[in-house]
Amino acid sequence: MVKMDSDVQERAKISDSEKITINLGYVDLGHIDLLVHEGFYANRSDFIRTAIRNQLGRHDEAVKQSLARHRLELGLRHYCRRDLEAVQAAGETLDIQILGLAIIASDVTPDLARATIASIRVMGALQASPAIKAALSGRIH
């Protein structure tokens, strides 16, 4: 198995979160605003993040079982040109399965990605150039 290196410069650009949009009914939103006003939460986002973490905590055991069953890596995984060239030199390909964030660095060419990445399954976010995503479009699940 090929060991992956880190690209420190690329990691400096990584955001620790992703923006999402949700629709809430006015009454639910009013409840949130009341709790914020009363000082229970700093703002709406603080309330929503806390509620999500609480729900994830309630399902922690199910998530752990699913991670093991689906063989998903948990966290951030970074793939740079040097990593994929090592995979290619070893005559291997990657089946990337991540729960979290997968990053394909800007120094990776579409041809190198096609030659070394057999499949990608990311539950979370995939950060890659539009050219890389296009090159791997049939392999991203």
Per-residue b/e over 102-141, b at no fewer than 16 CB within 10 Å?
bbbbbebebebbeebbeebbbeeebbbeeebbebbeeebe
pLDDT of 59 > 60? The answer is yes
Q: What is the mean pLDDT of the chain?
A: 89
pLDDT of 57 > 80? The answer is yes
pLDDT of 30 > 50? The answer is yes
Give 90's contacts (C-beta < 8 A, 6+ positions apart): 2
Tell me, rounded to whole angstroms, the distance of Cα 126 from its chain centroid.
5
pLDDT of 9 > 50? The answer is no
Tokens of 130: 């539009």
pLDDT of the residue at 7: 44
Tokens of 123: 């539950």
pLDDT of the residue at 61: 93
pLDDT of 71 > 90? The answer is no
In tens, the pLDDT along 86-136 reads 999 999 999 999 999 999 999 999 999 999 999 999 999 999 999 999 999
pLDDT of the residue at 18: 83
What is the arrangement of strands in the sheet containing 73-79, beginning at the earlier edge strand?
Answer: 73-79, 94-104, 117-127
